[in-house]
Amino acid sequence: MIGWLRHQKHAFAAALRRLRAQPVASLFAALAMGVSISLPWGLYLGLETLGRLAGELPARAEISAFLAADASTEQRRALEARLRQADIAEARYVPKEEALASLSTANGLADVAAGLPDNPLPDAWVIRPRADARDALVGLAEEVGRLPGVAETHVDSEWAERLQAGLALGHTVVVVLASLFGIALIAISGNVIRAQVLARRDEIQVSRLIGATDRHIRRPFLYLGALQGLLGGLAAGGVLAVAGALLRAPVERLGMLYGSHFPLRPPSALEIGVVLGLTALFGWLGALFSVSRTLRLVETAK
């Protein structure tokens, strides 16, 4: 066990020395990895920001129920009682005067509203059900629509659904991109390790002759791959930090124009940890694939 730990320590130190011996090559490999990883990572953070924004806006589905002009007081009370039940998150009564008033203040429609001889709008309820599955919404809309005194119901959930579908698509794109760039990372790491093995041909051949096992020769290269991946992850963090600093002002301006506040979300400590862990793992994998192949090459070329 102590011997094993000593071997690991030696190998880790050797990996650090090799990294330091070629600072420029290591830096460029880290940058290449960093740019690759920052694309899916940045997209993910953007989607998270959008998703949170969508949660804050009234993105949830609404049902509008328009009352018949001749609805009686009893019918109105029965409807109100139905809307106080547990499956309704919120129900807001919009009298026709309020509807006309909001129409008058809406851009471009003030003239239309002013030109009307009397108020043609019905009284209405705006209902937000607890469930937001489409079937449940339609079912509820039909049930409310059958109540006496209700002229018409309208399910207004389409834009929310589109947004959700768009976000889901975005998340799939993130997964696809992350997989592709994960493969790229393995390839970059494999190439770095291949170059390192070829550069250390003499050392490898001599070590073999004086009794080094395959594992002993491979170990520093595996550490090197993992370290290189880790540096790539850190570089990705750097790329995102720079991109974030550049994007913050324009995004906030855009948010203000929409009368909202879009704070760019920095990655959480957990996300940074996961990304660094994954990049180290992928760097290690690339080293693993590359080192055995290249070692065979080094050994046969005497």
User: Which residues form the interface with another protein (CB under 8 A)?
Assistant: 3, 6-7, 10, 202-203, 205-214, 216
Provide the angle, in degrees to the nearest 10, between the axes of the packed helices 214-257 and 2-21.
Answer: 60
CB nearer another protein, residue 211 or residue 250: 211
Closer Cβ to another protein, 154 or 215, answer by number: 215
For another protein, give the closer residue by CB, 3 or 115: 3
Report d(CA 101, CA 96) in Å as an integer: 9
Beta bridge partners of 63: 127, 155
CB of 218 to another protein, least distance (A): 13
Give the residue with the Cβ less far from another protein, 20 or 146.
20
Rounded to a whole number of angstroms, the minimum distance from the CB of residue 22 to another protein is 12
Q: In a 10 Å sphere around its CB, with 0-12 CB exposed, 13-18 middle and 19+ buried, how is residue 229 labelled? A: buried
Distance of closest approach, residue 207 Cβ to another protein, in angstroms: 6
What are the backbone angles phi and psi of residue 99, rounded to the nearest 5°?
-60, -40
Minimum CB separation of residue 254 from another protein in Å reads: 55
Which C-beta is closer to another protein: that of 7 or that of 96? 7
Task: Compute the least distance from the CB of residue 295 to another protein, in Å.
Answer: 12
- Kindly state the smallest distance separating residue 14's Cβ from another protein, in Å: 9
Is 49 or 205 the residue whose CB approaches another protein more closely? 205
Minimum CB–partner distance for residue 215 and another protein (Å)? 9
Indicate the residue among 56 and 202 with the shorter CB distance to another protein: 202
Rounded to the nearest whole angstrom, what is the least distance from the CB of residue 296 to another protein in the complex?
Answer: 11
The nearer residue to another protein, 21 or 131, going by C-beta atoms, is: 21
